[in-house]
Amino acid sequence: MVQLSRLRSRSALVAAVALLLGAGTAPVVSSPAAGVAGTTAGVEIVGGPRTGGIDRVVEVLTRDIGLPLPAGTRVHVYTTREAFRRGLVKDAAMGEEGADELAAFAIGIARPGRVLLNGRLAGGGREWLRLIAHELTHVSQFELAGGEGRAEQWLAEGTAEHVAFQVLERLDAGSLDLHRRLALVRVQRQPAFAHGRLDLSTLGSPRDFTLRHQREGSVETYHLTFLLADYLVERHGFDKVVEYFQRLKRQSSAVAFRSAFGYSIATFESQALAQLQTAALAAPAAGD
Ligand SMILES: [Zn+2]
């Protein structure tokens, strides 16, 4: 979906924690996108010289992790916010109003077969690589599921974050374990989690997800989705998560979830909440 620009007002505390653990905290918000300037593994990169790292991410994503990207996938990189806004209209077929709104807070968006990125993070740093990997994972999810918007949004976002950190780890630019530890600290500041709830039914659609992460904290909510995906990966293996997305081609999300993992989303919700509460208790308190 759409990747949000990091909310810098979220304090030095956040930055300090991230720095301390050496883990990325970039919130992820995904939505629509597209583009290409060179070609790597069948992916076209559009946007000039500041596209470093895209080829490396594509290679790890497709060859090492085994996620599919449709032939002719495009990654568009725009050098300014205004260029990004125009790209949303021209390359992602968004309306002017929606593009204005999105360009104001988002830095990346995924659509079937395309990713659009505001290139202000471009340069090959960790956050740039994470953004590319996150959005390209959404493109892969659309390909697996046969379209947009079929998956539970919390699982689509959590899986995109999880894959992004798998990619960073393979590129020696990050660590899944360090990110997990950071997320267990930060999730304690997520309002619903702090009150002993997940309320996954209101994180399931893109619209509801956006409303909640804007209200409850983007960074904290993305950390929560990462931990939920991580729980499924640890318990069932990454292949089962991929299978869930594949099943969406022919099944509803509820049926696909039960078929892939063996229990309902409601059962998952109560079990994952209990497990995360226990794990968070063992982690340093938020603010430490
Ligand atoms: Zn996303």
Query: What domains are there in the chain, each with its CATH number?
Result: 2-282 (1.10.390)
Give me ligand 1 centre to Cα 140, in Å: 12
Give me ligand 1 centre to Cα 42, in Å: 22
User: Which residue from 254, 256, 259, 270 is spatially nearest to 145, judged by alpha carbons?
Assistant: 256
Give me ligand 1 centre to Cα 135, in Å: 6
Give me ligand 1 centre to Cα 138, in Å: 7
Decide which of 259 and 23 is more confident.
Answer: 259
Give me ligand 1 centre to Cα 55, in Å: 20
Q: So what's the pLDDT on residue 255?
A: 98
pLDDT confidence tier of residue 38, bands split at 50, 70 and 90? low
Give me ligand 1 centre to Cα 109, in Å: 7
Q: Are the C-beta atoms of residues 107 and 115 closer than 8 Å to each other?
A: no
Q: So what's the pLDDT on residue 46?
A: 74
Which two tokens mark 118? 């505001």
Give me ligand 1 centre to Cα 13, in Å: 24
Nearest-angstrom CA–CA distance, 112 and 108:
14
Alpha-carbon separation of residue 150 from 83, 133, 244 (angstroms)? 30, 20, 11
Give me ligand 1 centre to Cα 153, in Å: 9
Which two tokens mark 233? 């990966």
Nearest-angstrom CA–CA distance, 253 and 260:
10
Give me ligand 1 centre to Cα 133, in Å: 10
What would the pLDDT profile of 209-249 be if each residue is shown by its tens digit? 989 998 999 999 999 999 999 999 999 999 999 999 999 99
What would the pLDDT profile of 159-168 be if each residue is shown by its tens digit? 999 999 999 9
Q: Strand order of the sheet with strand 2-4? A: 2-4, 106-111, 114-118, 74-78, 43-46, 39-40
Alpha-carbon separation of residue 264 from 92, 144, 257, 286 (angstroms)? 35, 21, 7, 31
Nearest-angstrom CA–CA distance, 20 and 35:
35
What would the pLDDT profile of 55-76 be if each residue is shown by its tens digit? 999 999 999 999 999 999 999 9
Give me ligand 1 centre to Cα 222, in Å: 9
Give me ligand 1 centre to Cα 210, in Å: 10
What would the pLDDT profile of 90-134 be if each residue is shown by its tens digit? 999 999 999 998 898 888 999 999 999 988 878 768 999 999 999
